[in-house]
């Protein structure tokens, strides 16, 4: 029997649904409409179960002036409640292209104050190896 008290239960990552969050040593750049939306050397890579890895970029490294908060929201039992932004750049708009967990569940608390981008709603999410990575 489930101890679920509402539709917004909290689940803990484990062997059946692993989640890891690690610092990405690469520079990560997000572009849309010829504009740089985000540029960071401090991205976190979240790997969740069998989903593709997601780059979470510190809010301070995102051009927030290009984002418009929307009313859209979603809930992940492992990460918490997500809020969304649309991007207006170069005359283009990507609706709900960006999400953030403003109060993430404890297991992924380090993604707080970070934003993630849907790859199909931006022109690119590029990872560039840092010169010092792998250098001898």
* Angle made by CA atoms 120, 73, 118, in degrees to the nearest 5: 15
Domain ranges of the chain: 19-125
pTM over 0.75: yes
Could you tell me what percent of the chain has a pLDDT over 90? 80
- E-assigned strand segments in the chain: 19-23, 27-32, 35-40, 44-48, 54-58, 67-76, 80-89, 92-100, 114-117, 124-128
Residue 60's SS3 state is: helix
Q: What is the pLDDT of residues 34-60, one digit of tens each?
A: 899 999 999 999 999 999 999 999 999
Q: What is the pLDDT of residues 24-33, one digit of tens each?
A: 999 999 999 8
**Which CATH number is 19-125 given?**
2.170.150.40
């Amino acid at each position: 029997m489930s101890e679920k008290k509402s539709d917004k239960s909290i689940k803990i990552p484990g062997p059946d649904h692993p989640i890891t969050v690690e610092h990405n040593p690469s520079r990560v750049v997000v572009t849309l409409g010829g504009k740089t939306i985000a540029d960071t050397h401090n991205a976190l890579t979240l790997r969740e179960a069998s989903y593709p890895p997601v780059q979470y970029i510190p809010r301070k490294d995102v051009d927030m002036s290009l984002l418009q908060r929307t009313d859209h929201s979603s809930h992940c039992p492992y990460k918490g409640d997500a809020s969304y932004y649309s991007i207006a750049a170069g005359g283009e708009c990507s609706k709900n292209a960006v999400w953030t967990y403003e109060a993430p569940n404890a297991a992924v608390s380090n993604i707080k104050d970070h934003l993630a981008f849907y790859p199909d709603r931006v022109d690119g999410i590029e990872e560039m190896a840092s010169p010092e990575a792998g250098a001898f």
